[in-house]
């Protein structure tokens, strides 16, 4: 079904500036909305660490200080939330998942990111390698604020933003694609904004 | 935090507006007839799609304010300054209009009577909409779970569902309604007149020892503040569920 005309509705057309950069059904925002299912966890940096576990040889753990010594990248990307806002030209600094995965030998096809607060999200490994995913701790040159996922969050900008798990503490490599938190609650298992993969049956 | 739900088909459905109710100067409730509606749980939302004559469309999410027990589905919409969709829904829609909806969506910010309690609902402004669905479900299901609503609004004119909330509290000793007016209170008001802060929360919330289920919905600043304070006051973060309301929608 489409095209039931809403009597008298005009709406707001997209500007030429955003054409081609806003996925279908998204609108531009300039603020940075906060969306979380529960309270914001606050883990002190001296208790923070990041793990790679699961189908790996030699599970890996970095303390906060060790994580800071890893090679870092600064990059500018657009982000798209399933609740329909998009934010353009956001700049982040963090460690590529390629760099993190170099530390282990693994045989897996998927990852589950796990987080303070119990949140999880699942991703195909091929979607988080090849320079497409990072663990970031810096937004626009400043330490990432807790409500936006600080001290560190996953960033996978080519998928809907719920895949960019806040307060990330590690990844588990898995053989099968195990639905995470929102993926078990009606949201899409993959989440490509350009294909509008919002809900489970899209 | 392991949950799952049995998914229902989420395709677009054609809803007919059966009733509109003005709730405040800026908010209105739209009551829809939706053929083959699969049912919802209190706290879930729907996507609403408007389409202009040239085919341009815009979609936003709105919380359902009606309980699962009612055959019709109601949403409560507050007009946002500079909003693209909300002014049309809250001000222009007429009974008999047809609108596309999709849902129900969201499986975490939900309460069902079987989940028990005590139930603590904390809302700011139009963030009361999904909490209203929970209160109405509580009544319709005949639940005896103790429930307390703490509702923060700027002025009496901004307060939604005032008469119904007072009636709910008066008719059921398990239901308490506590309001705080942050800018101006009704004349003769002797209750709270400030934002929900640490002291006020300690005074009005169920104690952490009672292990309440807590649902907080409103603007980001309110939700962040209250959820953080609840954890500081000993509440289990896993029993505190949040939903943000604002210009950028839910969940």
Closest CA relative to residue B125, chosen from B176, B63, B66, B169? B63
The answer to whether B84 contacts A11, with C-beta atoms less than 8 Å apart, is yes
The answer to whether A184 contacts B97, with C-beta atoms less than 8 Å apart, is no
User: What integer pLDDT is reported at residue B2 of this predicted model?
Assistant: 43
Rounded to a whole number of angstroms, the distance from the CA of B220 to the nearest CA of chain A is 7
Residue A121: which H helix or E strand, with range? strand A120-124
Determine the Cα–Cα distance for residues B78 and B39; give it in Å rounded to an integer.
Answer: 24
Residue A56: which H helix or E strand, with range? strand A56-57
Where are chain B's structural domains? 13-105, 113-244
The answer to whether B51 contacts A5, with C-beta atoms less than 8 Å apart, is yes
The verdict on A189 touching B (C-beta cutoff 8 Å) is no
The verdict on A4 touching B (C-beta cutoff 8 Å) is yes
CATH tag, B113-244: 3.40.50.80
Q: Which residues of A touch B55 (CB under 8 A)?
A: 3
Rounded to a whole number of angstroms, the distance from the CA of B115 to the nearest CA of chain A is 17
For the beta sheet containing B13-22, the strands, ordered from the edge strand earlier in sequence to the opposite edge, are B57-63, B45-51, B98-105, B13-22, B27-33, B73-78
CATH tag, B13-105: 2.40.30.10
The answer to whether A38 contacts B251, with C-beta atoms less than 8 Å apart, is no
pLDDT, averaged per 10 consecutive residues of chain A (202 residues), comes to 80 80 91 88 97 94 98 98 94 98 96 97 98 98 96 98 98 97 95 96 88
- Answer for the pair B208, B201: CB distance below 8 angstroms, yes or no: no
Per-residue model confidence as pLDDT tens digits over B158-194: 999 999 999 999 999 999 999 999 999 999 999 999 9
Provide the chain A residues 50-109 that lie in CB contact (below 8 A) with chain B: 81, 83-85
Domains and CATH numbers, chain A: 48-195 (3.90.420.10)
Per-residue model confidence as pLDDT tens digits over B116-138: 999 999 999 999 999 999 999 99
**Mean pLDDT estimate for chain B:** 93
- Answer for the pair B13, B81: CB distance below 8 angstroms, yes or no: no
Please enumerate in sequence order all residues whose Cβ is within 8 A of that of B171, keeping only pairs 6 or more positions apart, or say none.
Answer: none
Per-residue model confidence as pLDDT tens digits over B62-108: 999 999 999 999 999 999 888 899 999 999 999 999 999 999 999 89
A150 HSE (CA, 13 A, CB side)? 14
The answer to whether B1 contacts A118, with C-beta atoms less than 8 Å apart, is yes
Closest CA relative to residue B43, chosen from A116, A82, A185, A200? A185
**Searching chain A, which residue's CA lies closest to the CA of residue B89?**
A9
CB burial of B178-203 (b: ≥16 within 10 Å; e: otherwise) equals: bbbbbeebeeeeeebeebbeeebbee
The answer to whether A186 contacts B100, with C-beta atoms less than 8 Å apart, is no
Between helices B128-140 and B162-171, what is the axis angle to 10°?
40
| A-B contacts (CB, under 8 Å) | 139
């Amino acid at each position: 079904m489409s095209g039931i005309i809403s009597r008298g509705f005009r709406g707001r057309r997209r500007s030429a500036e955003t054409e081609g950069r806003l996925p279908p059904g998204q609108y531009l925002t300039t603020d940075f909305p906060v969306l979380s299912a529960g309270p914001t966890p606050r883990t002190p940096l001296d208790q923070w660490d990041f793990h790679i576990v699961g189908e790996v040889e030699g599970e890996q753990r970095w303390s906060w200080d060790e994580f800071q010594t890893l090679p870092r990248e600064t990059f500018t990307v657009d982000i798209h939330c399933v609740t329909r806002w998009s934010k353009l030209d956001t700049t982040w600094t963090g460690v590529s998942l390629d760099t993190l995965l170099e530390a282990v030998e693994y045989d897996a096809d998927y990852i589950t990111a796990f987080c303070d607060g119990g949140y999880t999200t699942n991703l195909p490994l091929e979607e988080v390698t090849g320079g497409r995913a990072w663990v970031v701790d810096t937004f626009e040159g400043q330490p990432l604020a807790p409500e936006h996922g600080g001290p560190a969050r996953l960033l996978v900008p080519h998928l809907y933003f719920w895949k960019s798990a806040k307060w990330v503490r590690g990844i588990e490599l898995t053989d099968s694609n195990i639905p995470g938190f929102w993926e078990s609650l009606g949201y899409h298992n993959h989440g490509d904004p350009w294909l509008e993969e919002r809900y489970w049956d899209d | 935090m392991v949950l799952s739900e049995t998914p229902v088909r989420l395709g677009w459905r054609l809803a007919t507006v059966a009733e509109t109710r003005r709730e405040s100067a800026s908010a209105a409730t739209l009551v829809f007839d939706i053929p083959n509606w699969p049912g919802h749980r209190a706290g879930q939302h729907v996507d609403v799609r408007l389409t202009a004559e040239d085919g341009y469309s815009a979609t936003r999410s709105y919380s359902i304010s009606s309980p699962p027990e009612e055959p019709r589905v109601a949403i409560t919409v507050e007009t946002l300054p500079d909003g693209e969709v909300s002014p049309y829904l809250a001000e222009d829609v007429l009974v008999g209009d047809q609108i596309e909806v999709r849902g129900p969506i969201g499986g975490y910010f939900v309460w069902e009577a079987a989940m028990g309690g005590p139930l603590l609902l904390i809302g700011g402004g139009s963030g009361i909409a999904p909490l209203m669905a929970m209160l109405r479900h509580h009544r319709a299901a005949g639940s005896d779970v103790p429930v307390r609503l703490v509702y923060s609004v700027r002025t009496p004119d901004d307060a939604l569902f005032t008469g119904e909330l007072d009636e709910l509290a008066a008719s059921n000793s398990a239901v308490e309604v506590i309001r705080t007016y942050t800018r101006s209170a009704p004349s003769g008001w002797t209750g709270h007149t400030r934002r929900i802060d640490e002291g006020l929360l300690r005074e009005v919330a169920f104690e952490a020892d009672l292990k309440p289920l807590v649902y907080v919905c409103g603007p980001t600043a309110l939700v962040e503040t209250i959820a953080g304070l609840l954890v500081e006051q000993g509440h289990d973060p896993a029993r505190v569920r949040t939903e943000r309301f604002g210009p950028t929608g839910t969940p």
